[in-house]
Each structure stands twice: as structure tokens, then as C-alpha cells.
Amino acid sequence: MKKEKYALGVDIGGTNIKMGIVSDTGKIVFKTMLPTNRKGGPEEVLSQFKKGIKSILGEKKYKIKGIGIGAAGSVSSKKGTVSNPPNVPGWKVVNIVKIIKKEFNISVFIDNDANSAAIGEMLFGAGKKNNSFALITLGTGVGGGLIFDRKIFQGSTGAAGEIGHISIDHNGRKCNCGSRGCVEAYVGNHYLMKIVKDELADHKNSKILKLINNDTKLLTPIIINKAAKSGDKYAKQIIERVGYYVGSALSSVANLLEIDTFIIGGGVSAFGKPLTDSIKKTLRNNVLKVLKSRIKVSQAKLKNNAGMIGAASLVFYNLK
Amino acid sequence: MKKEKYALGVDIGGTNIKMGIVSDTGKIVFKTMLPTNRKGGPEEVLSQFKKGIKSILGEKKYKIKGIGIGAAGSVSSKKGTVSNPPNVPGWKVVNIVKIIKKEFNISVFIDNDANSAAIGEMLFGAGKKNNSFALITLGTGVGGGLIFDRKIFQGSTGAAGEIGHISIDHNGRKCNCGSRGCVEAYVGNHYLMKIVKDELADHKNSKILKLINNDTKLLTPIIINKAAKSGDKYAKQIIERVGYYVGSALSSVANLLEIDTFIIGGGVSAFGKPLTDSIKKTLRNNVLKVLKSRIKVSQAKLKNNAGMIGAASLVFYNLK
């Protein structure tokens, strides 16, 4: 009987640090969560972080092969550093891998959240059978992870995969990054909710408004999805359009890299099949002939625990 | 004293087949050209092809390590096939590598013209010192070759690198490929000359019209460049705008792949420094912060013989 191996996956978010023991078949066997306590600055976050790891490594039932860390912001997996993570003021460049390795004498790996999620989907999720694919995370921002021949594509310093900053219109919407027409400026959660809020003025009868009691602060992708499922035309339009924008950006990715398989994750992917259908339709309309019949678009499988499982998967990916 | 090694580079174009003996320092020491004689169909083209190789391999002065073939159209470097090359009617899928290998008992390699040119620039041209870069060929079509860590990126079947079919406007100009807003539909030579021809109606005083005696059939990038150099405002505008469109597409490439170095080749690159300056400016305006200061744009160095030298470079690249 093959004995399962385990890794500790750590998902550093702005609000919480989630930690889980994950098996080499992708199952979470133990998990815990601590607040990020950002006010204390990087020192305090690191101290909590260590405390959490210490307690979880105490779970002697599981032989843990290593620690994987997924973090938002600018991560160098080669150097082991996290730079300027959003929501942790005062944190400049911290070599978190070195610190944790030294403290616990165990293998430690790090990558940004989108790359971790892509590796997680490859080992345990929707990308298990694919040699090459792009993962797109539709959340507050739009991120991406590129897998070629079962390897993550990092770029020279780890900054590759910024699918959200593919421009679909050189004259288009202004993006926070300073450019125009980035797909993130159309479908990133903040931007999207603002667009919908503005447009609702012209859709007074939309079920969306009923579901939120006319309080647009309560607007979420889940609400829009609910309205669409109950037949609301405008809500369906929104989902169709998000798919069109995402599909437009991904068509450029497909043509540039000869990628035909796309996996959609993140909060906005709650739109489900109508979203992936719209993305697929747009891709098939726009990609070069050689790719048309090969295009596949599916939903990410790891869902809510993608962060933890993705982080843990860094250990299995790097140690195998 | 290090003895030079040689390769035979074969550039299959629609009109001519160019063949050259190229040294491992990138110098052409012997060259010849034969008409493609397309009317005879694939059989006739192949027969000429063999005859040409035979005669050139007779140049006993040079010890030839192998034959490299660069071809337009759909090429699989793994399989050794060329499928449906434009301008050779009746040519479906031909395993040209197998045929030539069998006939001459020598190492044979093939790739599409853009990938060959990228490898040529890497070994002998503007990319000699770069680990990673993208080559963009601005010709009738807009092609591309992607080099990461001194390796060509092929995609799963060799179709990667289609920079010309990155869309810069999802609502933009209709492209021959069926999509909209592909950068090729703005700056590919045919499209560009048509745009300029139409616009000249509003620029009756442009020096361009004088240079071509009002005969717009004579319009070429070289004419536009001449007019721009002599101070013509509209001609300068055209070049600036081509740079803007190319830069817009390349910004998406830069963000997606963390590529910071771009090499511009092909006939339209005759626009020279004003073109590369405009591309660079656009890139710097649009790419993510991490890339801004790193952006480099230069002209390809291999120029007119890029096809032959690029094809020969496949031998040095694959045999080293």
C-alpha cells in the first residue's frame, strides 16, 4: 500500500492566513486560520506566521515533507522573497523562505497565488490531464498562471502570467496600472461591480435590484448569478459580456502561445457554465484556424481551498 | 586556431528559393538562388530544391554540418513537415526533412521563417547577448518568434509566436484570419499600404505623392520612409502610428511573459529608428511598473539575408 505524503500549504491573504495539511492526492486533512493582524506590520505578521506553523507541525500524525507558501503581490520563487504584499503596510522585501527554513529546518517553497493555483489545478484539479494550459483567476484583480509541458512559466523574475493586463482595446477603459483597455479594467471584481452599479440605473426592473434591496453596496458576483439563474435578462447579459471580454484577451494568449486549454478560477468564476460557455464561444470566434476546434474552457476545481491546496502543491511539484 | 564550421541555409519563399553556405559565425560564404517554379506543383518545387542542394553540397571547400530550412506557412519542426505553404498550389503536407535527409544522408532541420529568424538573431544578430526576447517580423504579415532562456518557444505543434494576431481592439479592423483588431490588420504591409492609399486623399500635399508620381500602386514602406526623412509630416505620422500599434500589441506580450527585449525585423522595419522609438515609447507607457525601466527595442541585424542565415542557424542551434 502506497503511503500518502503530506505538505503544509500556507495561503497569505490580506485578512487571513490560512494553513492546511494537504495530502499528495490533494486532500486537506487538517486546517486552521489566523488573522493576518496587519497593524503590527511585517514583524507581527511573521511572528504569527511562525506560531501557526509551529502548532500545525505539531500534528505528529502526518509526516510533512515541506511547506508551500502562496502569496499575493510580487513574489520571487527563485529568491524566496515577497515584496510589497498588498494589505501589509511596511512590508518591503522579505525573504520569507529563508526565515521559515531556518526556523523549522524543512523544505520551503513560495510562489504567487495565481501560479500556486495553476500548479494546484495541474496536480489535483481541472488540469490533471493537460500538458499545457492557462489558469485565469477572476477576482478583485485578474491573474494568471501559465503551464507548458507540466512546468510553470515564471518569466525572468517571476512576474509572468499577467493575463489581467492584456489590453483588449488600446483606446479602452483606464486601468489602475496606467494602461488602457486591460481586461482587468472590465472584469476585475471592483471594476465590474462599479460598471454594473452604474448600469443598473437603466435596468430598474432587474431582479438584481430586488435581491439587494436597491442597496448597490451589496452587489456581488453571487447576486448577479442568482438573478441570472432566475431568468433576469440584464444579469445574463453581464455574464455573457464578462465572458466576451475574458475570451477576447485569451484569444491573444491562445494565438501567441498556441495554448488551447483554459481553466477559469476566482470569485467571478461563480458565474459558472454560462461564463465558460461565453468565453469558449469568443475564443472559437477569434483564434487562428489551427486552434479553433481544439479550444477547451473549464472551471477550476479547487474552489475555496485553491489557495491552501495550491500552496501545498508547490511542495509536491518541486520535490518530485 | 578554431576552424569554422558551416551549414547550408535554405529559405523557401513564394518567388525564390535562396540557398547559402553560412559559417558558425554567421557569415555567408556562398549563395545561390533559384525560382520556386510553383506552376509545376510540389513535385517540381522539390525536384528543383534537391538539384540546388546537390550543386551547393558540391562546394567541397566547405565542410557542411547540416541543412537548415526556413519556410513560410505552417511548419512542424518536430515532424519535419511543411503544410500548405502560401504560393505553392497543391502542396498539402510534405515531410521535407525526411525527403532531404534520405537523399543526402545529412542532418536536416526545419522551422517557420519567423522562428528561424529569431534563432538567427539570437546566434548572430541583435539577440546575441539576450537570454530572452521576442522577434517581430513586420512584413506582408506580422510574425513572431519567442526566445526564452536561449530556447525557441514552439508551442505544442509549432504554431506559437503569432504576434500578428494579438488583438489591440476587440471592436477593431477586420483581419483576414476572421478576428478583429489583430495588429496585422493595422501594420501588415498590404493592410498598411491600403490604409495609406485611402488616407492620401486627405494629404494631397504629402511628399509621398510626389515620390510616386501620384501612382499609389508604387507605394512601399521605403517610399514612406524617404518622405519622412525629407520632413514630410504625414509620412512621419504613419511611422509613429505603426509604432504605436505594434507597441500596443507588444505591451500585452511583455505583461503576459515578462519579456522586456524586442527585436524588430521585416520589410516595414525599414522605417528604422523613428519606428523603434515609437514602439519603445508605447511599451514604456503601457507595461506594468516592474518592466517599464527594462524595456529595450532594437532593429534586427540580419536584414536581407535573415532568411538564409536564420535557416542555417537552425543547424548550429540544434547540433550544438
Name the residue among B215, B160, B163, B171 with its Cα closest to residue B187: B163
The set of residues, in sequence order, having a beta carbon less than 8 Å from that of A55 and lying 6+ positions away, is A32
- pLDDT of B37 above 90: no
Task: State whether A178 and B258 contact (CB < 8 Å).
Answer: no
Task: State whether B248 and A167 contact (CB < 8 Å).
Answer: yes
The interface predicted TM-score (ipTM) is 0.94
CATH of domain A128-300: 3.30.420.40
Look up cell 475574458; give the residue. A246
B6-120+305-319 and B130-300, same CATH topology: yes
Which among A153, A162, A285 has CB closest to B255? Answer: A162
- pLDDT of A1 above 60: no
Q: How far is CA A161 from the centre of its chain?
A: 11
Domains in chain B: boundaries = 6-120+305-319, 130-300
Task: Write out chain A residues lying below 8 Å of B161, CB-based.
Answer: 256
A170-203 pLDDT tens trace: 999 999 999 999 999 999 999 999 999 999 999 9
Task: Write out chain A residues lying below 8 Å of B154, CB-based.
Answer: 258
Q: How high is the pLDDT of residue A2?
A: 59
Mean pLDDT, residues B65-90 taken together: 87
Give the CATH fold of the A6-120+305-319 domain.
Answer: Nucleotidyltransferase; domain 5 (3.30.420)
Beta bridge partners of B58: none
DSSP B182: B
B149-189 pLDDT tens trace: 999 999 999 999 999 999 999 999 999 999 999 999 999 99
Mean pLDDT of chain A: 93
Cα of A218 to nearest chain B Cα, Å: 31
Name the residue among A108, A154, A147 with its Cα closest to residue A128: A147
The Cα–Cα gap between A193 and A181 comes to 17
- pTM greater than 0.90: yes
The Cα–Cα gap between B12 and A173 comes to 44
Task: Write out chain A residues lying below 8 Å of B181, CB-based.
Answer: 169
Task: Write out chain B residues lying below 8 Å of A157, CB-based.
Answer: 258, 290
Cα of B3 to nearest chain A Cα, Å: 35
Which among A167, A178, A258 has CB closest to B168? Answer: A167
Contact call for residues A70 and A12 (beta carbons, < 8 A): yes
Q: Which CATH class, in words, describes the domain spanning B130-300?
A: alpha beta
CB pairs under 8 A between A and B: 125
Question: Among all residues of chain A, which has the CA nearest to that of B173?
Answer: A169
Cα of B242 to nearest chain A Cα, Å: 13
> Residue B261 is placed in which grid cell?
527585449
Cα of A142 to nearest chain B Cα, Å: 12
Contact call for residues B201 and B224 (beta carbons, < 8 A): no
Q: Mutate which of A255, A284, A287 to test chain B, going by most B C-beta atoms within 10 A? A: A255
Q: How high is the pLDDT of residue A60?
A: 76
Q: Where are the alpha helices (DSSP H) in B157-296?
A: 184-187, 189-200, 207-211, 221-229, 233-257, 273-286, 289-292
Q: Mutate which of B255, B282, B283, B290 to test chain A, going by most A C-beta atoms within 10 A? A: B255
Which among B155, B252, B289 has CB closest to A252? Answer: B252
